[in-house]
A = this chain, B = another copy of it.
Amino acid sequence: MEDVKQYMKKVGQQARAASRLMAQASTNAKNHALENIATAIQLGSARLIAENAKDVAAAKANGLDAASVDRLTLTEKTIKGMVEGLQQIAQLADPIGEIDGMHYRPSGIQVGKMRVPLGVIGIIYESRPNVTADAAGLCLKSGNAAILRGGSEAIHSNQAIAACVHQGLREAGLPETAVQVVNTTDRAAVGELITMKDYVDVIVPRGGKELIERVSSEARIPVIKHLHGVCHVYIDDEADLHKAIRIADNAKTHRYGVCNAMETLLVNANVAAKVLPELCRIYLDKGVELRGDEASRKLVPQMKVATEEDWHTEYLAAILSIRVVADLDEALAHIATYGSQHTDSIVTENYSKAMRFLREVDSSSVMVNASTRFADGFEYGLGAEIGISTDKIHARGPVGLEGLTSQKYIVLGSGQIRI
């Protein structure tokens, strides 16, 4: 325990020192490092797969569930994904040093803002080893130092990827300590990481609800976090029903296990009889379990009864809850009560109702006539994302490079003093 404390302190101090160098690193050096890391991973893929096999074997021996083993396993395809991800990050514009809004004030000074790194970013994740490359790349490009703490079941894979990252940094003349992968599986390391105020500026937990809740409640450092995604689509009575059916189908069935999938469908009572039978036919054909309120079940008898708990639930599965509402106000009230402030969409052709929905729904993404599945850093054009934030402070919604930066004020004078 004392050893872990000492070890993490050293990691923290090294990260802080590296962060100062990374903040000054040229765009060129950072891009070279990213490309070098990509190459090292590509050339080292056989070794990565061999190291990964150790983790996979141990995981199976320890009885880890199949889904976790699947997330843990590196294949030629996931390795290609890592390589391409790093190359894409290299191609993104460098946010650091960007100057905005310089304007003269009556005093004669010129004031604006310069974008700067946050400093040291601690990332805590679970079994997926590709997060190691991905998170390292985003932190590096945004001029930060990173401390990565992956799942203990992926320790060999993560250390092998870390070796590629270090090689890439070294070849670009950047400090290897800019990206450190915690090399102990002791859980106390997480406790240290999330409380080392002097060495870590922000924590990004990536993983399931339990991990995020533990990290948020114990951290003494700001956390960029993503909690639940209880997303809604509201089909208004002035919706184009063709669009409505396509969007409601896509929002639920494009992928089930993702945070931006719809979990509850709200349908205006005036169009429920026109929409629900056709739409539910599609869901049932795709094997989606439907749970409805009384009004929906009258229209589609195959539905189960939705309970109060259903409205709160992020299924992350082929299950959908459905409710018929009287009007936009009832839809807004439902979303305010049961939503998770993640992503909600209205389908309507009515301008005033679209504007009200945009303004009044307090979620990180609010949409009109589009599938909730678009709430994503790549779809929004951020180029990459470190996660989706459901917080309001600092970063909200998909978090790309910019979310890993801050802005300082800069003042250009010519000798001004305050009078």
* A339 contacts the other chain (CB 8 A): no
Q: Mark A87-123, 1 if CB is under 8 A from B, else 0.
A: 0000000000100000101010101001010110000
Contact count band on A: 35 or more
Q: Are B116 and A247 in contact (CB under 8 A)?
A: no
Please give, as numbers and ranges, the residues of chain B lying within 8 Å of A256 by CB-CB distance. Answer: none
Q: If A119-B392, A201-B392, A393-B201 touch, does A418 touch B105 (CB 8 Å cutoff)?
A: no
Q: Which residues of chain A (377-408) have a CB below 8 Å from chain B?
A: 379-381, 391-394, 396-398, 406-408
B409/A364 in contact, CB under 8 A: yes
Residue of B nearest to A119 (CB): B392
Most buried by B among A97, A111, A249, A360: A111
With A374-B416, A379-B107, A381-B111 in contact, is A366–B201 under 8 Å at CB?
no
For residue A215, CB closer than 8 A to chain B, the reply is: no
Please give the count of copies of this chain that the complex contains: 2
Chain B neighbourhood of A20, CB < 8 A: 336, 362
The answer on a CB contact under 8 Å between A418 and B222 is no
User: A116 — nearest CB in chain B belongs to which residue?
Assistant: B362
Cβ contact of A362, chosen from B23, B367, B407, cutoff 8 A: B23
Contact with B along A37-59 (1 / 0, CB 8 A): 00000000000000000000000
Q: Pick the 5 closest A-B CB pairs, nearest first.
A: A370-B413, A250-B417, A243-B415, A373-B418, A367-B411
